[in-house]
Structures are given as structure tokens and as C-alpha cells.
Chain A
Amino acid sequence: MSDAGMVHPITVTINGERYARTVQARKLLVHFIRDELALKGTHIGCDTGNCGACSIIVNGKLIKSCMMLAVQADGATIETIEGLEAEGELTPVQRAFHEHHGLQCGYCTPGMVMSATYLLRGNPDPSEEEIRRAIRGNICRCTGYVNIVRSVKAAAGAGEPAAADRAEASR
């Protein structure tokens, strides 16, 4: 069918860089980011919206990029895991995951870090319950979550906003 070949022009700004491309309507945002822009930090775990490995921030909102079409992101400002560190400096969340062993295999980590970053922007001093609620959409098969929660707490305690300078779009 000709529809599969029908393409739509889109423009997105990802981690500060502007990309203009054409996409098929059926292209998932996660595939666009990984395969067309070669930003492989955003992972695919389940492809059904359940695991959260593909979590990114679109127009200031945390979303699962396997549950959105690339064409739906036309005009959007997007942040992925690659955009967090600036000039080799990890963000407080990334540093805390490193220091508190918030990861083992690392597969869930990009999504976890994006969820934690999103949480701390809206709530700089979350309780343990709020942290657990914030990462509910992110599945980790290794850590048992304890060290992840500890990492997020430590990042909050670090007293620095989580890459707040990059949070141009407010919630």
C-alpha cells in the first residue's frame, strides 16, 4: 500500500540540537531516536509501555518513547539521557546512581535516571514513598530497587537541582 511509504516532515529539538527529518507515520519515537539519530542511550525493554527503559522527557513531560509516534513529536523539545551531562560533568542524579550503586546491568538505568530527574524537578525533596511512586513505571530486574531509591534520595540531598538549567520547559 502506498500509505506505508507516505512520509511526514517533522522537526524536533533533542538535547539542544535541531533535527529536521521525514518519517513514516508508523515510526515509533524510540526507533526514530535510536535508529535515525543514533542516540542509543534510550533503551527498548518491552515495546509495550510496561518497562520504562525508553523513558524520555518531551516538552517537559516524562513519557515512554515506545508509546508515541515520531510524527506526534513534531515541534517538540526533547531530552534524552545523552543530554543530561554537560561537558563531561554528570548531573547529581547520575553521580548518585554511580556512587550508591543504583545500577547493575544498566539496562533500566537511562529510563530510571530520566524518571528520577523528572521527579526532582517537580519535587526537590521527595519522601521514599514519593520516590517509589515516581519510578513505578520503570522496571529493574537487577537491583531490587533499594539502591535506586537510595540514589535518588542522595541526589535530592545533594541539594542541587537536577539539571535545572536544562529544564526550560516547566511542568
Chain B
Amino acid sequence: MLLASVDYTRPATVPEALEALASREGAAPLAGGQSLVNVLKNRVASVELLVDISRLEELRSIEASEGSLEIGACVTYDEIDRSPEIRAGHEIVSRVASHIEDQQIRNRGTIGGNCCLSDPTNNLPPLLIALGATMNIQSGSGLRQVAADEFFRGYFLTAVEPGEILRSISIPALGEGAGAGYSTLSVASDSKAIVRAAALVRGNGTIDEARVALAVVGPVPIRHSGMEEALRGGAATADAAREAAEAIGEDLEPIADAHGSTEYRRQMARVVARRAVDEAIARGGENG
């Protein structure tokens, strides 16, 4: 396919990249290209200048300290899958990355691109919300931090403004007695997600803190505060998780499309949320 005409530059440093992005309207960062190249083929967005950030070493490191992680925006899914540091403290992040599509996409697609695209079906956003991640956004004038909860703004829209890049993602330590879980419903293992949930549960026997994120129910992943409240202070058991999932009610008005009606998605949201919390409880138990 013949792509729309576009220019290309491969800056050597982050400041040079930011300068290039600010130099021209229609400039966009190019990371793994696993979405952006198709966008150029389809000519659905007008990109005039591709600023290739994929080789910038500053965006390609994984740092772990005292259980917390900082993952550079241009680290690939495959690198996340294989990273001993990530597997050690945040096994779920490696596992979710390892389930993205196929080996070829995992060798190119990046965690930063996965988030900055803000496609509601993408795998990593709900997990980062549940884990309480912080998105580190760099502009020419400095670095600012946005909670993952606040980062996703709409279909293909995030808190990253023109002229900025997502530099890295910080994920706090899970901590003692905490566990995380993740669950997806899809028709076949390789088809688009119909609904997803990610959860973090902290507590010993009793739940002290719970975070439940639901995805593919609207333009961006959301936390379900009703279910979180129902879990908090309760027993860390599968029964309690099932009961708490009933808090997902009419308040959730999921999108309807060819993959599922609003009512079907609402019911299935309860199922995946319960499964994610069950897993989080079980893993928290191992981590006590």
C-alpha cells in the first residue's frame, strides 16, 4: 500500500526529539509503529513529520528499586515479557505483555505506544490503572506526572499534549499482602477483547485496599468505585469478590457494538471483575 507522503527524522536525544515535535504542526512520535504505520496506510490522520523515538536509549531502560519499577516508554512488549526485574516484582505486567497478539508485534510494539494510542481494547492501560502507575510526560519545559487514572482522555486521546512525549511509566511496589489480577473476555483467544478487568487487592485476610479497573466498556478504562468500596473492609475470599461484583450495575453504561450489547457487556464486566479480584486475592495470599 502506498502511504500518505510524510517526512521522517531520527533525533539522537530526547531534547532533540522534543524540538522536532514542536517544530511543525502534524509532527508525531513514532515508536514501534505497530499502530502508526497502519494509520499512515489508511490515511486516517494527517501526520506530516514522523519523529522516530524508538532508538532513544533514554526511553529504553527498565529500572527497579525497592520493588518499584520505572519502564521507559520505548521498551517493547517482548522486553517486558523477558525482563527479570519486571518478572520478579510485577509478574503480572510481564504476563499481560506476553499475551499481546503475536511474537512479531511484541518485538516492535512498546508500552508507551500501547498507552499513547489510547485504543480502548489495548491490553496494558487497565492494568496500569489498577497498579496505580504514574505516567511521566516530558515537554521542552520539563517533566510532569499524571496518574494513570487521569491519563486516558478519550478514543485515541491522552494527557500527552502536542510537542510532548511520554517518557516513562512508574509502577509502585505491590507491597506486602498485595496481589494483582487480570481477566479478559474475547470470542477466540486472538480476537479483540469484549471486556477486560484488572485488579489490585491489599490486605491480610481482610481487604484494606482494592482497585478495580474495567476496560472496553467505554472510550477509556475506568475504575469502578462501587465495587472497590464493596470490597474494602470485607473478607479476602472468592465469595466476597462475587458479592462485590454485583455492585457493577446500571451505573455502568458500556458501549454496544457488534461484539456485545450494553447489557451483555455489563454482565460480563461483573464476571471478569470477579475473576481479576479472585486472582488478586490468591496472589496476595502468596505474597503475605
Contact = CB atoms under 8 A, between A and B. Distances in A.
Chain B CB count within 10 A is highest, among A72, A119, A137, for A72
Interface in B67-87: 78
Nearest to A64: B104
Contacts of A26: 2-6, 40
A8 B108 contact: no
A66 B10 CA distance: 20
B33 interface: yes
B101 A137 contact: yes
A3 B3 contact: no
B102 A67 contact: no
B103 A134 contact: yes
Given A25-B50, A26-B5, A69 B33 contact: yes
A137 B105 contact: yes
A152 interface: no
A48 B2 contact: no
Interface secondary structure of A, over-half rule: mixed
A67 B37 CA distance: 6
A115 B5 CA distance: 31
Given A67-B37, A68-B37, A25 B103 contact: no
A18 B78 CA distance: 28
Contacts of A137: 101-105
Interface string B106-117: 011000000000
Interface stretch (A55-63, A81-89, A91-99): A55-63
A28 interface: yes
B258 interface: no
Interface residues of A, number: 33
B41 interface: yes
Interface in B1-25: 1-8, 10
Query: Which of under 10, 10 to 19, 20 to 34, or 35 or more describes the interface residues of B?
Result: 20 to 34
A6 B7 contact: yes
Interface in B86-110: 101-105, 107-108
B33 A25 contact: no
B263 interface: no
Contacts of B7: 3, 6, 25
Contacts of B34: 49, 67
Chain A CB count within 10 A is highest, among B40, B52, B105, for B105
Contacts of B101: 136-137
Interface of B: 1-8, 10, 30, 33-34, 37-38, 40-41, 48, 50, 52, 54, 78, 101-105, 107-108, 190
28 contacts: A3-B5, A3-B48, A25-B50, A26-B5, A48-B38, A49-B37, A49-B38, A49-B104, A52-B104, A61-B108, A62-B103, A62-B107, A63-B104, A63-B108, A64-B105, A64-B108, A67-B34, A67-B104, A67-B105, A68-B33, A69-B33, A69-B50, A71-B10, A72-B33, A74-B10, A136-B190, A137-B103, A138-B102
